[in-house]
Copies of this chain bind each other. A is one copy, B any other.
Amino acid sequence: MNKRLERKIRYGMVGGGPGSFIGNVHRMAAALDGEIELVAGAFSSDPEKSRQRGEEWFLDPNRVYGSYQEMAEKESSLPLSERLDFISIVTPNHTHYEIAKTFVNANFNVICDKPMVNTVAEAEELVNLVREKNQYFCVTHNYVGYPMVKEARHLVRRGKVGNVRKVVVEYQQGWLANLIEATGSKQAIWRTDPQQAGVSSCIGDIGSHAENLVEYITGLKIKSVFADLTTFVEGRLLEDDASVLLRFNNGAKGVLLASQICVGEENNLNIRVYGDLGSLEWHQEEPNKLWIKYSDRPSELIRRGNDYVGGYNTSYFTRLPAGHPEAFIEAFANLYRSFARTIRAWHESRVPELKDFDYPKVEDGCRGVIFIHKVIESGKTGKWVDL
């Protein structure tokens, strides 16, 4: 019998300083299940801000650092009994690569926000490094953490919609309909600055979530893309709207719409998968529902938390009974929990369960980066581009 690890899984955070949205999301997601503990952090490249965040979050000041380099150095030297189990990287995109490389090289497992890195070369190097160092690595394409997304994937695999023919996936937002990066919005500034965001704003920030969602649910691979990209807001340097035609490896067709200028849209990620026997529809803003439609009988509304929800996800990926809605944080927490349980299994010399492995990995992050670059290439050349 394996020995039980009698403590929470421990992690440190890089980024997530005062005012950060996504850092706080990671912290909540990690905290939810009582299995993971935040014990260290380099929350900001400004040491005073980092210290302030550490205090707000009641950390031991000795483990709050002024830079990620310092954190890597100090935390690496701790005895195994105190060592962090993983690092969460929640900084702006362009810094992911160096930070991730540093910690993987120092033999830490890593959770990294998306897009994983800014160039394909970096992405591929990171894949190789992670494999070489044999670390666990998760990229927070968090929308696949929703139980109804997992159920959708399960239904496709069970053949409930037959052969997939057509996919329509949208990720519509409206918050960048004006040049708010010029009026001081921190969230807008780094997403629209080529120095920080890389080659893409809209596809990089949200389109790659849509790509990940499509491939996760359908099990198909996007084979080629044709993109019409637009920068609607004058003065902006990267695209803020994208209409992308997709062709899949099984002959299916698709459309991926992503936009940051659709006034009135909030975080409208949704997907429809049409097969020859049935179809599925899911909307992120009402995540507890999943439609399955047929040609010869009434549409069915599958709702999270019911016993009839199939596959492994009933008990594992939900926390509340039907009718008690779950939402964004729980989906995010599913990634953290799976990742932490994988690490716990390692500590306890167990093979993790399959469901423990159900989080996006470094290869998924790499695919997202490739997708971004191919879409941008298609937009520039006006041609179909293969992935």
Asked if B32 and A57 sit within 8 Å, CB to CB, the answer is no
Is A95 an interface residue when CB atoms closer than 8 A count as contact?
Answer: no
Known: A274-B261, A325-B328, A327-B326. A28 touches B24 (CB 8 A): no
Contact among B296, B299, B324 for A303, CB-based, below 8 A: B299
Asked if A263 and B275 sit within 8 Å, CB to CB, the answer is yes
Query: Who on chain B is nearest to A241 by CB?
Result: B166
| Number of interface residues, chain A, beta carbon within 8 A | 89
Known: A299-B303, A303-B299. A266 touches B177 (CB 8 A): no
Nearest Cβ on chain B to A22's Cβ, whole angstroms: 10
Contact among B295, B319, B382 for A177, CB-based, below 8 A: B295
Q: Which of A125-163 contact B (CB under 8 A)?
A: 161
Is A285 an interface residue when CB atoms closer than 8 A count as contact?
Answer: yes
Contact among B33, B243, B263, B322 for A279, CB-based, below 8 A: B263
Per-residue CB proximity of A12-35 to B under 8 Å, as 1/0? 000000000100110110011111
Contacts of A323 in B (CB 8 A): 173, 265-268, 284-285
Known: A228-B226, A293-B263. A257 touches B168 (CB 8 A): yes
Residues of A within 8 A of B (CB): 6-8, 21, 24-25, 27-28, 31-35, 38, 55, 57-58, 161, 165-166, 168, 170, 173-175, 177-178, 226, 228, 230, 232, 241, 243, 245, 247, 253, 255, 257, 259, 261-268, 272, 274-279, 284-288, 292-303, 305-308, 319-330, 382, 384
